[in-house]
Structure 1
Amino acid sequence: MKKIMLKSTISLAVAMASSQIFAGGFAINEQSISGMGTGFAGRSSSADDASTVYGNPAGMSRLKSEQVSIGAAVLDAKTNIRGSGTFGGSTDGDMVPFIAVPMGYYVKPLSDQWAVGVGFYAPFGLVTDYESGFTGRYFANKSKVSVVTFQPTVSYAFNDKVSIGIGPTFNRIDGELTADTLNAATPGRNDGSVKIKGDDTAVGFNAGLLVQATDSTRLGLTYHSKVSYNLDGHTKIQGTGFSVFSGSKYDASLSIDTPESVDFSVTHQLNADWTLYAGSTWTRWSRLQQITVNNSGVPVQLGGSAGPIGTISEPQNWHDTWSHAIGAAYQLNKQWVLRTGFSVDQSPTNNTDRSPRIPTGDRKAISFGAGFTPVDNITIDLAVSYLKEEDTSVNLASATKGALNADYKNSAWGFGSAVTYRF
């Protein structure tokens, strides 16, 4: 029987967890199309429509009418890869397919002080899908993770200056990852593949404070809590290199926390036509120093001479990050408002541990948007953004997967639209 090195299975499980957290690397900020137009500057202080359920739940107190907002954004990422792996292969094609991000919100004022609302949005998500002969196929082939959140929310206004809001978040994670697994007897030939799937539902919360500091300046502070996940799933192996074990499944589990974040922003009404926005977000990525994965039932023949693989910890060594944004809106007339924004965003990864599943670096983005109100109770928001990341490198070496040395140039376009209806 040919020996198959299954350590890549463990690496896949580690990547599964990191992919869920590393949505910040391919950040899905698109929880609001009106906010997208200003580069998400003023995210926690603008409170322009029902999407404030996510941006700052205290902002519901500023919405004086019952309203619903429904929208979606699409992300079109481009990647240029130059590099090589030990066992050859290609670096053609884009690794990120077209991605759609839905969102929906509802807010109902109950009185001058109380308001309630609900939100449905995607706070994290990742899809990377390399061509079948990718030179780094032993480290990664496909990574697909989706996180969707449902958030019921309540807000209370102490007066016309200060309001607070809070709501629990119910978060559902689904992940699927694949990679080729090296046939130790004939490296690069008759290889097998490994697929890992897992899911979990966990609870967090979102809380905010909104202060009308002056007649023209509003301050917002929003806290998104950490969320603790305990994923249960399975590892499936297949391919000619796995002999009689092809098609077998083994239990896999891991526990991990997504980090908390704090957003502070300012909205300033310069005059009747111009509104200025600024904001910063801190995210506690340093929670992720390592990931511990538990696998059960792996046979000795797959684990190698050392026997079955049980518990393995792998370092990540991520650091806390800051993102900053500035933006502006111009009220062209009663029907049209024009928006723009610029943002910079740090990546939590480092040059030593960066993976081909999430090969991202620091980035900059410019955004443009518009709001069209054809009648008093309907607003259509449109937005477009362009994101450019710094060039990054992936340099990995493994006794069971060979080496990968690759340089990445990443960029992306985002397009969004939403409709708000006020009852």
Structure 2
Amino acid sequence: MKKVMLKTTLSLAVTLASTQIFAAGFAINEQSISGMGTGFAGRSSVADDASTIFGNPAGMSRLKREQVTGGVAMLDAHTDISHASSSPNLDGTNKGDMVPFIAVPMGYYVKPIDDQWAVGVGMYAPFGLVTDYENGFAGKYFGSKSDVKVVTLQPTVSYAFNDKVSIGFGPTINRIQGTLESDLSITQAAPDGHVRIKGDDTALGYNIGVLAQLTDSTRVGLTYHSKVKYKLEGDTKVNYGLLPLIGQSKDQKYDASLDLTTPESVDFSVTHELDDQWTLYAGSTWTRWSRLKEITVENKGVPGPLGSQFGEITEDQNWHDTWAHAIGTSYKLNKQWVLRTGLSFDQAPTNNVDRSPRIPTGDRTIFSLGAGWSPTDDLTIDVAYSYLKEEAVKVNNKNDRGQTYNAKYENWANGFGVGATYRF
């Protein structure tokens, strides 16, 4: 019984992952359209526009004009589910169309104060997903719908020690909201119930970075994104189907809470200008996903004998730290046009034992293309396209009611981005 309830009310942390996201775990990469074109290679060393507020806040020192950068990334994910089996045999479906077409917006503003100081503010989405399996999904006891959003507001300041070295810092104000749904079976003889859990919280973190111009043609950057501790509070609504043993209505609502820490990450990258036309980028990001060892959900007021089983529920996750690597290049065709491309490799933090239908992800390879068009010195319009392909992974789930779901997942996705920078 413990595993049954946990799989249905599984915490907001684990369900953030999805094939719609172009970074591993439950992170989102899409905070910059210009960066998307090079596969985010050189993220912490480029500083081409105001999106450097996220990539490396020290990069604001390179922006000599007041400017606004905004954009939206559109993500279209696909999944093939094969070799699926479930117990009891519910004759369920495995269509795989679980991720709707979604958009991820972003916006930044930077104002140089003098030759040393610059200030700015950014708003972006560091984590989030929407997944919605079809009615009758064979794995419905292990997750049917998830809708999670994290929005971050980051006021930022940078300081240039000289024309070679600068630093930047920005506190982050992070708002998380989530809704999860799954089917629930108390006994095999009773009709299925339904679980819906909602929660939200606001928490603080910070980003800090350093940027160094090593030579006239080579620049390096290092950025640290802090962990963020949340205590999500909300409610769990349960329809038990038929449950006369507790002498209450089959529809119940309980207060729910969850402690969640999103992991810190470190990004190091290099930007090297070969000549007036070609620029090379390379970078690596380490993320401390090993913080997610287990998830504990607390539901208050669960009545009768169910209280001891569903009051505090824990599930092992055993995620591991990951590395992501990217290389890219850009080519200045002329004064108006720059062309970009990149290749990224991103490890998945999940393991073969604990992977579920909510997080059916594996290691990823991402190929990217992009372009920037500057019709005037004041305006640049950026576009980007990315293709993501994951290794095939297996899901093997079982709970204490004898329910199982086993399947092979093959995921891929297309990403489209459009943005603009206007300089005052």
Specify if TM > 0.5.
Answer: yes
Equivalent position amino acid for 1:101 in 2: V
- Distance in 1, Cα, partners of 2:48 & 2:56: 11
Q: What SS is found at the alignment partner of 2:350?
A: coil
1:181 to 161, 184, 196: 184
Deviation at residue 256 of structure 1 after TM alignment = 1.7
1:59 corresponds in structure 2 to: 59
Equivalent position amino acid for 1:62 in 2: R
1:155 to 141, 155, 158: 158
1:17 corresponds in structure 2 to: 13
Per-residue CA distance 1:133-174 (angstroms, 9 max, x = gap): 000000110011111100000000000000000000000000
Equivalent position amino acid for 1:74 in 2: M
CA gap of 1:144–1:401, structure 2 versus 1, over 3 A, is farther
8 Å contact kept, 1:90–1:134:
yes
Task: Tell me whether 215-224 or 9-18 shows the greater mean CA deviation.
Answer: 9-18
1:8 to 4, 14, 26: 4
1:249 corresponds in structure 2 to: 253
2:123 corresponds in structure 1 to: 120
Equivalent position amino acid for 2:290 in 1: S
Superposed, 1:34-45 pairs within 5 Å as 34-45=34-45
8 Å contact kept, 1:26–1:360:
no
Equivalent position amino acid for 1:340 in 2: T
- Distance in 2, Cα, partners of 1:241 & 1:44: 56
- Distance in 2, Cα, partners of 1:25 & 1:390: 14
Task: Tell me whether 247-256 or 341-350 shows the greater mean CA deviation.
Answer: 247-256
8 Å contact kept, 1:370–1:381:
yes
Deviation at residue 210 of structure 1 after TM alignment = 0.1
Q: What SS is found at the alignment partner of 1:416?
A: strand
Equivalent position amino acid for 1:161 in 2: K
Equivalent position amino acid for 2:154 in 1: Q
Q: What SS is found at the alignment partner of 1:208?
A: strand
- Distance in 1, Cα, partners of 2:77 & 2:242: 34
CA gap of 1:17–1:173, structure 2 versus 1, over 3 A, is same
Deviation at residue 254 of structure 1 after TM alignment = 1.3
1:32 corresponds in structure 2 to: 32
Residue 410 in 1 paired to residue 404 in 2? Answer: no
Task: Tell me whether 322-331 or 254-263 shows the greater mean CA deviation.
Answer: 254-263
Identity of aligned residues (%): 65
Per-residue CA distance 1:63-91 (angstroms, 9 max, x = gap): 00000011000100000011021132010
1:259 corresponds in structure 2 to: 263
Superposed, 1:381-420 pairs within 5 Å as 381-400=382-401, 402-420=403-421
- Distance in 1, Cα, partners of 2:242 & 2:374: 61
Root-mean-square deviation (Å): 1.6
CA gap of 1:202–1:27, structure 2 versus 1, over 3 A, is closer
Equivalent position amino acid for 1:42 in 2: G
8 Å contact kept, 1:388–1:412:
yes
2:304 to 281, 300, 306: 300
1:108 corresponds in structure 2 to: 111
- Distance in 2, Cα, partners of 1:68 & 1:26: 28
Deviation at residue 239 of structure 1 after TM alignment = 5.9
Equivalent position amino acid for 1:256 in 2: L
Q: What SS is found at the alignment partner of 2:10?
A: helix
Deviation at residue 56 of structure 1 after TM alignment = 0.2
Superposed, 1:153-232 pairs within 5 Å as 153-186=156-189, 190-232=191-233
1:144 to 147, 171, 191: 147
8 Å contact kept, 2:11–2:258:
no
- Distance in 1, Cα, partners of 2:405 & 2:241: 24
Give unpaired runs (5+ residues) of structure 2. none
Deviation at residue 25 of structure 1 after TM alignment = 3.2
Deviation at residue 60 of structure 1 after TM alignment = 0.1
CA gap of 1:344–1:389, structure 2 versus 1, over 3 A, is same
Using structure 1 for the length normalisation, give the TM-score.
Answer: 0.95
Per-residue CA distance 1:350-390 (angstroms, 9 max, x = gap): 00000110110000000000000011100000000000000
- Distance in 2, Cα, partners of 1:199 & 1:127: 16
Equivalent position amino acid for 1:114 in 2: W
8 Å contact kept, 2:17–2:129:
no
Deviation at residue 26 of structure 1 after TM alignment = 5.7
8 Å contact kept, 1:267–1:277:
yes
Q: What SS is found at the alignment partner of 2:259?
A: strand
- Distance in 2, Cα, partners of 1:25 & 1:364: 14
Using structure 2 for the length normalisation, give the TM-score.
Answer: 0.94
8 Å contact kept, 1:25–1:361:
no
- Distance in 1, Cα, partners of 2:100 & 2:359: 14
Q: What SS is found at the alignment partner of 2:323?
A: strand
- Distance in 1, Cα, partners of 2:399 & 2:233: 27
2:348 corresponds in structure 1 to: 347
Residue 68 in 1 paired to residue 72 in 2? Answer: no
Deviation at residue 288 of structure 1 after TM alignment = 1.3
1:333 corresponds in structure 2 to: 334
Deviation at residue 242 of structure 1 after TM alignment = 4.7
Task: Tell me whether 317-326 or 90-99 shows the greater mean CA deviation.
Answer: 90-99
